[in-house]
């Protein structure tokens, strides 16, 4: 069993090409002995974004703070805000963008361990 607080987890700048103003934290995952899934928390600074990318496993997301958009494969922007859940299915091109000029955008992303 493990209990942790997000403020105890190191925040590491996202190094993936196309990421702007994104940090990642992994409060629960492989290093904790999780056998199947990982919880990652991404924080995007105002005006920042994740890469526009695809992956071959689903990502289940919960928006913790702020507002932004989830961009789909056609480039359509879908508004998301704190309290929303979203799912990105395998091989679906997507990107999260923080549309705020003043507030951070933070979300949990649950993934299979291979994507930690």
**Tens digit of each residue's pLDDT (9 = 90 or more) over 4-16:** 999 999 999 999 9
CA–CA dist 64, 99 (Å, integer):
15
| CATH number, span 14-115 | 2.60.120.10
Kindly report, residue by residue over 47-95, the tens digit of the pLDDT: 999 999 999 999 999 999 999 999 999 999 999 999 999 999 999 999 9
Res 113: pLDDT: 79
Give residue limits of the domains in the chain: 14-115
- Put simply, whether the predicted model's pTM sits higher than 0.75 gets the answer yes
How do residues 20-38 score in pLDDT, each as one tens digit?
A: 999 999 999 999 999 999 9
pLDDT of 115: 65
Name every residue whose Cβ is closer than 8 Å to that of residue 52 and which is 6 or more positions away in sequence: 18, 71, 93, 94, 95
**DSSP string over 18-53:** T-EEEEEEEEESGGGT-SSEEEEEEEEEEEEE---B
């Amino acid at each position: 069993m493990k209990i942790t607080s997000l403020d105890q987890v190191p925040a590491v700048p996202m190094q993936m090409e196309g990421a702007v103003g994104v940090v990642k934290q992994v409060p629960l995952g492989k290093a904790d002995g999780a056998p199947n899934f990982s919880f990652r928390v991404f924080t995007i600074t105002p005006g920042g974004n994740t890469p526009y990318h695809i992956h071959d496993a689903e990502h289940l997301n919960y928006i913790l703070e702020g507002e932004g958009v989830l961009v789909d494969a056609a480039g359509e922007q879908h508004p998301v805000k704190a309290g929303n859940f979203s799912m990105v299915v395998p091989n679906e091109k997507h990107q999260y963008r923080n549309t705020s000029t003043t507030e951070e955008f933070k979300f949990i992303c649950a993934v299979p361990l291979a994507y930690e």
